[in-house]
Amino acid sequence: MAMQDEALLRIVDRVYDSILSPEDHGLVLDEVMRVTNSHFMVLSAHRPNSPIQPLFAGDMTSRRLDGLAEYAAGAFATDPTAHFANKCPQGGLFATDHQIDRDQHAAHPHVKWNRHYLGNSHWTARFDVRDGMMFGVSVHSRSPDEPHAEDDRARFEMLFGHMARAWRVAGRKADLGSHRGAVMLLNGAGWVKGMSPAGQAMVESGQGFRVLQGELLPQDSRCRTPWREAVWRVSLPTGPDEEAMLIPHGDDRRPLAVTISAVSQTHAFGARARDILVRVVDRDAAAADMSRQLGNLWNLTPAEARLAQTLLDEDFALRRTAERLGIAYSTVRTQLASIFAKTETTSQPELTRLLARLSG
């Protein structure tokens, strides 16, 4: 390479330094473009075969901004780089002078789009896949008509390797050690990034979930397709922020109540990805814990604590509660009067608010 090794090493240092200094991401990207003789860059972080939410770097002229709006509106459908990424789930190198036939290059619709809006007709892209997530960078040649020289492409490949590693470090496993509930943090592909102690214990004991080759999955194979579909939807940039489902516990107890929530993460170089926070509630254990708390706080009898919990589950429908517990309606009213006295509440709405706060 003509570029001095020392200069490249300084850029590599800045790549890793920028993990802790996100405000320097733009400067690092400018350096990468400069040493690869590029004038525009596209970065992405996504689950393979899912919509890409790219980040753009370079001089944003009004023409380029118009072009990027057109790209988001549908021009991406002709982008051979995206097609390459989806066909190569293990990652790889894309270069227009290699992947697009020379005789068809000038007539290719996306080459025409690039030439009109970005001012070049050749670009080089690299993709790296780890833990089910794909990180990609595309650099556009400064020359209007020529592809990157081999030295420029070699520099880009070397720097991309460090950028991909820095991106993975920036999205490293979360520390959920202090979380009391059963919580799991997943990346957009459903792979585990971290678990709370309660979540770890639940998985290790086979209560509802297991980890298979890094992916969190329900123990019950019948639930795996709807589970993956729910995780997939929440992982999409335009998907719902939260979904909920019931997962079999693995024995005769009630199913686990599970929420799947999106957590927007900005990793290195501003490349965004949606992480997923999974919260699991063992409804039987939660009910038993609440009954103990009711007994400790207000000296409720086991029957009164069971009634309070059931009333909350049944929206304070007294007759339905009596049927569910198998007791007389008059017994429900008698026990409820005792609960009012012990908790120092005087109405069903007041007692409901108290129990709801206690149940979290």
DSSP 32-97: HHHHTTEEEEEEEEE-TTS----EEEE---HHHHHHHHHHHHTGGGG-HHHHHHHH-TTEEEEEHH
pLDDT tens column, 112-165: 999 999 999 999 999 998 878 888 999 999 999 999 999 999 999 999 999 988
Coil, helix or strand at residue 110: helix
Could you tell me the maximum CA-CA distance found in the chain, to the nearest angstrom? 92
pLDDT at position 195 over 70: yes
Position 287 scores a pLDDT of 67
- Looking at per-residue pLDDT, the higher value among 53 and 8 belongs to 8
Tell me the pLDDT of the chain averaged across its residues: 85
Nearest to 312 by CA among 252, 248, 358, 244: 358
DSSP 275-292: EEEEEEE-HHHHHHHHHH
Nearest to 211 by CA among 185, 232, 239: 185
Share of the chain above pLDDT 70, in %: 90
pLDDT tens column, 258-278: 889 888 665 666 666 678 899
Position 352 scores a pLDDT of 79
Cα four-point dihedral sign 242, 246, 251, 252: positive
Position 358 scores a pLDDT of 64
pLDDT band at 86 (very low <50, low <70, confident <90, very high): confident
Give the Cα separation of 95 and 123 in Å (integer). 6
Position 169 scores a pLDDT of 76
CA 194 from chain centre, in angstroms, equals 12
Strands (DSSP E) found in the chain: 38-46, 55-58, 91-95, 123-130, 133-141, 182-186, 192-195, 209-212, 215-218, 242-247, 256-266, 272-281
Position 262 scores a pLDDT of 85
pLDDT tens column, 213-248: 899 999 999 999 999 999 988 887 778 888 888 888
pLDDT tens column, 347-356: 888 887 777 6
Please return the burial class of 69, using the count of CB atoms within 10 Å of its CB with bins 0-12, 13-18 and 19+.
exposed
Position 4 scores a pLDDT of 58
pLDDT band at 2 (very low <50, low <70, confident <90, very high): very low
